[in-house]
Chains A and B, each alone.
Chain A
Amino acid sequence: MFLHQRRARLATASTAVAVFALTAACSGGSGGEENTSGEPGGSITVLTWRTDLVEDGTFDDYVEQFTTKYPAVTEVKVEGITDYEGEVKTRMSTDAYGDVLAIPGSVTPDQLGDFFEPLGDLAELEKEYRWLNDKSFEGTSYGIPVVGNVQGLVYNTKVWEAAGLTDFPTTPEEFLEDLAALKAADPGIDPLYTNYKDGWPLTAWEYYRGGVSGDPDYVNEMVTWDDPWADGRDHEVIDGLLYDVVAQKLTEADPTTTNWEQSKQLLGTGKIGVMLLGSWAIPQMQQAAVDAGGSAEDIGYMPFPAQANGTFHATAGGDYNLGINVSSKNKVTARAWIDWFNHESGYSESQVGLSPLIDGATPAALADFVDQVELVQMNPAPEGKESLFADVDTASGIVTTDPKFRQKIIDDARSGARTKQQVFDDLNEAWAKGRADVGA
């Protein structure tokens, strides 16, 4: 009897071990020896969303340069993740999310400390870096952006020149006239392409807020208003333009069949006049233009068509921020990677973005833009109200960074189911309700 019992127990135990081994195999990750020496060394795992740069060997070069500088570092394992946001978010429920990683957008400021190692005092780091507010909480920084984006419009210079347009439009009305002129010059093109179906490109529209009025406190003020879509406010200007441009049929005829990859090629070959995207899109569009037999010069960047006090303004902010896994065993090396990446890798310039360093260089493709446009860096939320905007935003049901409500605006502009004013009234009502629910 003992024997049988023991065998049964053994079987149960081995089952448990097998099951455990299976699950362990799934969650294996950062691992490695703990580095207690205080000097960069040992091995680290870096998670990146740039699978393209992993595949074309750019990251191999980065790793080589890094290990040359720090010979004690034995291995830098780079994991490129296609569905970065989704996968990393899932992995963050374990401890195995690498040593260095880009902070996913869904992490709210008050959660930063749960998952990421503090990188230092915000005031101290700000002497060296820009755009740290996003990933800081209560005066402590948890992430440093790898590159800075400005928010403007990427356009095909040839198409605009062919229609005789040389100056940046200064008002939404002028912009609409220009688009009509593009259409008149070549009826076969879509003057503006919304990328409605993929959805996420529409979120770029949100980041003109603050740029239209040139007000760095726009977002902080927005939570004190019941009517952000009232006449003349940034959201009214931005979404009004979206409604008008669609209602005047200056966008793609059937938005449900848009295709992001294809849109790059269409812009590169001059079948699209302009798309509203952050400056991160420039290198991709240039590549598409070159691939289609054009040149990188065919792609230009213009500010949002609105001026405050006679000047264009554009918001600038960090792209993905690099942070350190709070349970990493090799934080020293992880920190060395972040510092090296920002100072010596040359990543920001290669991506036609602004350097996260205050004294960093401006890439050539943005020089013209930066000359004519005043950059606005949004101010952080006041102490104690860090998550207020997100709370109101969610409670209102609008979620400004979600493409859904702009898809709805496009639907209404096409069908005429709601007038522009009705759209704004509904949005204002929802926002006011969100504020009331949160008690802002």
Chain B
Amino acid sequence: MTTTTTGAPGPSPADADAPAARPSPSGPGRGGGWRQRAVPYLFLTVPVGLLLLLTYLPVANMFWYSVTDWDGLARSKEFVGLDNYVEIFTDPDNVRVFYVSLYYFLASFAQMAIALYFATILSFRVRLKNLWKGILFFPYLINGVAIGLIFLNFLKPGGGLDTVLLATGLDSLVRQWTGDPDIANVTLAAVSVWRYTGLNFVMFLGAIQSINSEIYEAAEIDGAGRWHEFWHIILPSIRPIVGLSFILAISGSLSVFEIPYVMTNGGNGTETFVIRTIWMAFNRNMVGLASAMAVVLLAIVLVVTWVQRRVVPEEEVDLT
């Protein structure tokens, strides 16, 4: 290293030594400290560089596209101000996707109720507890596309569900589960419930298990039944988690994607926000408008996350 310094054509050795000779405010060993302090940053440059390049730059680009009329191909983009954002909330076809989200939002209440029901039962002494837990959580581990395909075959006319209904004499209940426009969204929301109940269940169960068992004992001594235990002990103790699930349900119901995309491709009035965004960008070649939709979704998720932080302080979440 010394050779490189002395061999360098620029500064003379004397010059190079000069700063080191000067009294340094941080005292001896400053060079080594600098080196040590630089190490983490050196390690950080690569991942942060990639992150900037592959995440932040595209997102910044997306913000820029969202105020242009870009078609995804043209070499020039025209600035259109907030026109795209206005269109998202005024075009009736665009607004309709929010209405579809309502189905999923309402379904999330059923989902929470089912999850809470099972979590409560399994928090008591039950045989084969871990098996039941595994069974209930399993759907959440399956890929969304696979779930879509499974239910596609299960619900198609003459598929699994119809066969079961016919075999049990419930012929009158058979219908086109995704083909009937009145129930198509209900069907898809139900599939979504089937998939995500396991996640809610695990969250609730974790919260319930963190309740001190002495409280139950005390309650039992006071003559409380199972219902009382649930209503007066379990529910109040896990209220933050219920609140969290509720907030997640809001952003979740807006970003529903795989299940309706695979099962109906957004047809028959089942188009969701994300499906419409993709369709706008890649079928209609309106990348500007689609970017604006993506920005809106991002904004909604950010707001919801912020509210979630306010409603459920981080420490309480960690307890679970």
Contact = CB atoms under 8 A, between A and B. Distances in A.
Interface of A: 1-4, 8, 11-12, 15-16, 18-19, 22-23, 86, 89, 92-93, 106-108, 111, 114-115, 196-199, 253-257, 394, 397, 399, 402, 404, 407, 411, 414-415, 417
B313 interface: no
B31 A4 contact: yes
Interface in B76-131: 91, 93
B50 A19 contact: yes
Contacts of B268: 255-256, 407, 411
Given A11-B42, A257-B156, A257-B179, A1 B49 contact: no
Contacts of A23: 53
A257 B5 contact: no
A290 B152 CA distance: 28
Contacts of B283: 402
B269 interface: yes
B156 A254 contact: yes
Interface of B: 1, 4-5, 11, 16, 19-20, 31, 34-35, 38, 42, 45-46, 49-50, 53, 71-75, 91, 93, 152, 155-157, 176, 178-179, 181, 184, 263-265, 267-269, 279, 282-285
24 contacts: A2-B5, A2-B16, A3-B1, A4-B35, A8-B42, A86-B282, A106-B72, A106-B285, A111-B73, A111-B75, A197-B265, A197-B267, A198-B265, A254-B178, A254-B179, A256-B178, A256-B184, A256-B263, A256-B267, A257-B156, A397-B93, A402-B284, A407-B267, A417-B181
B46 A15 contact: yes
A384 B91 CA distance: 30
Given A253-B157, A256-B176, A256-B178, A89 B73 contact: yes
Contacts of A19: 46, 49-50, 53
Nearest to A105: B285
Contacts of A198: 265
A257 B50 CA distance: 42
Given A198-B265, A256-B264, A411-B268, 15 more contacts: A1-B31, A8-B38, A15-B49, A19-B46, A106-B285, A111-B74, A114-B75, A197-B264, A254-B157, A255-B179, A256-B184, A257-B157, A257-B178, A402-B284, A407-B267
A411 B181 contact: yes
A216 B152 CA distance: 43
Contacts of B1: 3
Nearest to B265: A197
A257 B152 contact: yes
A86 B35 CA distance: 48
A404 B45 CA distance: 47
Nearest to A104: B73
B48 to A, nearest CB: 9
B235 to A, nearest CB: 40
A22 B52 CA distance: 14
Contacts of A399: 284
A415 B181 CA distance: 8
Given A1-B31, A415-B181, A196 B267 contact: yes
Contact of A253 (B11, B73, B75, B179): B179
A92 B73 contact: yes
Contacts of B93: 397
